[in-house]
């Protein structure tokens, strides 16, 4: 017998963290539902991080394969956070076109670190 959402028992904290448990995923147009694991939900919806260490030869453009087609949430540069802007970034800003991060201030030294938080769109 099927149940409505409000008829389901709540999960415990440990059950909610179990990567093998299932979650419903439904198409709002045709109403068909599928199931996904907690592990799949984390991969699809979770925030991930990428630590990039500059070589010193990047100039103003960083191209990081792991970020291609991802949504950048924040970039923390060695000097502090930098902020996304549509075009013509200044020294505390960057642009993102789903391929390249264009920095307002170029990388000048090898070893400069960037912590980038991202997720899938």
Give the Cα separation of 92 and 74 in Å (integer).
12
CA distance 89 to 39: 37
| Predicted pLDDT at 31 | 84
Q: State how far the Cα of 86 lies from the Cα of 41, in Å rounded to an integer.
A: 30
Q: Any alpha helices (H) in the chain, and if so which ranges?
A: 13-16, 38-45
| Structural tokens at position 111 | 């070893």
Mean pLDDT (10-residue bins), the chain, 121 residues: 78 92 89 92 94 96 96 95 96 97 96 96 82
pTM value > 0.85: no
Q: Is the dihedral of CA 15, 17, 18, 24 positive or negative?
A: positive
- Could you identify the residue written with the tokens 């923390």? 76
Alpha-helical segments (H) within 54-112: none
């Amino acid at each position: 017998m099927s149940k409505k959402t409000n008829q389901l028992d709540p999960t415990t904290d440990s059950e909610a963290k179990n990567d093998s448990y299932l979650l419903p995923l439904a198409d709002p147009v045709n109403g068909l539902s599928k199931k996904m694991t907690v592990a799949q939900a984390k991969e699809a919806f979770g925030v991930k991080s990428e630590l990039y260490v500059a070589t010193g030869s990047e100039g103003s453009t960083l191209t990081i394969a792991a970020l291609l087609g991802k949504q950048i949430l924040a970039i923390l540069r060695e000097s502090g956070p930098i902020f996304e802007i549509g075009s013509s970034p200044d020294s505390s800003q960057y642009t993102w076109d789903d391929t390249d991060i264009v920095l307002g201030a170029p990388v000048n030294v090898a070893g400069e670190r960037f912590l980038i938080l991202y997720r899938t769109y």
